């Protein structure tokens, strides 16, 4: 668990939450700036770091009538 009481996520957990492959999860870390915690050879992700990464990499959608959505 981390300082906020939440347990750290494995990359497998990240894959399940985002419905992505393990290769894509490694790319998020290696190429797209997903912050990780390394403990020996283990790689973990803080839930708040995953949320922050999602917020930084989210784009506003456009509805069918052309209006921008949040």
Q: Could you tell me if residue 34 is inside a domain?
A: yes
Residue 66 belongs to a domain: no
Residue 69 forms part of a structural domain: no
Q: How many domains does the chain have?
A: 1
Cα 57 from Cα 42, distance rounded (Å) = 25
Looking at residue 69, its pLDDT comes to 59
Q: Is residue 50 part of a domain?
A: yes
21 falls within a domain: yes
Q: How many helices (H) and strands (E) does the chain have?
A: 3, 3
Q: What is the pLDDT of residue 2?
A: 55
Q: Order of strands, edge to edge, in the sheet holding 37-39?
A: 9-10, 42-45, 37-39
What is the extent of the structural domain holding 17?
9-56
Assigned domain for 52 exists: yes
pLDDT < 70 regions, the chain: 1-5, 61-70
Q: Strand 37-39 relative to strand 9-10: parallel, antiparallel, unpaired?
A: unpaired
The pTM of the full predicted model, rounded to 2 decimals, is: 0.74
Is residue 17, in this structure, part of any structural domain at all?
yes
Rounded CA-CA distance 48/59 in Å is 19
């Amino acid at each position: 668990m981390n300082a906020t009481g939440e347990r750290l996520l494995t990359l497998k957990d990240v894959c399940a939450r985002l419905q992505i492959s393990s290769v894509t999860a490694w790319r998020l870390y290696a190429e797209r700036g997903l912050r990780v915690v390394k403990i020996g050879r283990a790689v973990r992700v803080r839930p708040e770091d995953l949320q922050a990464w999602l917020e930084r990499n989210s784009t506003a959608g456009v509805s069918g009538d052309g209006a921008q959505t949040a």
